Amino acid sequence: MESEEARPYDVDTHLPEEMGSITAARQIARRTLAELGYLGYHEDVLLVVSELVTNALVHGDGPPVLRMRGDADRVRIEVSDAGTDLPEPREPGPVNGWGLHVVRLLSTGWGISQWDGGKVVWCELTAPGTDPRRPRITVPE
């Protein structure tokens, strides 16, 4: 059986180094979620994608790269850039923004990985009922 880490990415997109990439990343994520049949909250994923791409554009170096993979129950999002400065969670609010705080609240896990060419900020989200921290929502028939 192939390990989870060895699975290929469903999406690997190099984005332009411009703020319009946030909208493009959301469109790519929306299409990917539909193709995966992801059962979780699509708006949560789109918000996290927006935050990670925004952070890469504002605080990183070079054009960001969006990677996504997953299935109906789980999605992993990675945004990389050539910057070497690591993001630091700050007190959320109007002055510092809400970025990594939102990512932390909506995801089941997140982190930062460094490599010779820069860094990757990643997170994972799961559909309700697949993570004990998120309640299963049932809709009456």
What is the token pair recorded at 77?
């999002």
What is the per-residue burial (b if ≥16 Cβ within 10 Å, else e) of 64-79? bbbbbbbeebbbbbbb
- The answer to whether residue 53 is domain-embedded is yes
Using the predicted structure, report yes or no on whether residue 7 has a pLDDT greater than 90. no
Report d(CA 61, CA 64) in Å as an integer.
Answer: 8
CATH number of the domain to which 33 belongs: 3.30.565.10
Q: Which residue has the higher pLDDT, 86 or 23?
A: 23
- The answer to whether residue 23 is domain-embedded is yes
**How many residues appear in the chain?**
141
Using the predicted structure, report yes or no on whether residue 14 has a pLDDT greater than 80. yes
pLDDT at 4: 46
Stretch among 4-13, 51-60, 131-140 having the lowest mean pLDDT? 131-140
Q: Give the model confidence (pLDDT) of 61-81 as tens digits.
A: 999 999 999 999 999 999 999
**Average pLDDT value over all residues in the chain:** 84
- The answer to whether residue 132 is domain-embedded is no
Q: How many domains does the chain have?
A: 1
Q: Report phi then psi at 132, rounded to 5.
A: -60, -20
User: What pTM does this model have?
Assistant: 0.82
Task: Report, as an integer, the average pLDDT of 50-57.
Answer: 95
- The answer to whether residue 68 is domain-embedded is yes
- The answer to whether residue 138 is domain-embedded is no
pLDDT at 98: 66
- The answer to whether residue 137 is domain-embedded is no
Q: Are 15 and 64 in contact (CB under 8 A)?
A: yes
Range(s) of the domain holding residue 49: 8-126
Report d(CA 38, CA 47) in Å as an integer.
Answer: 15
Q: Report phi then psi at 35, rounded to 5.
A: -65, -35
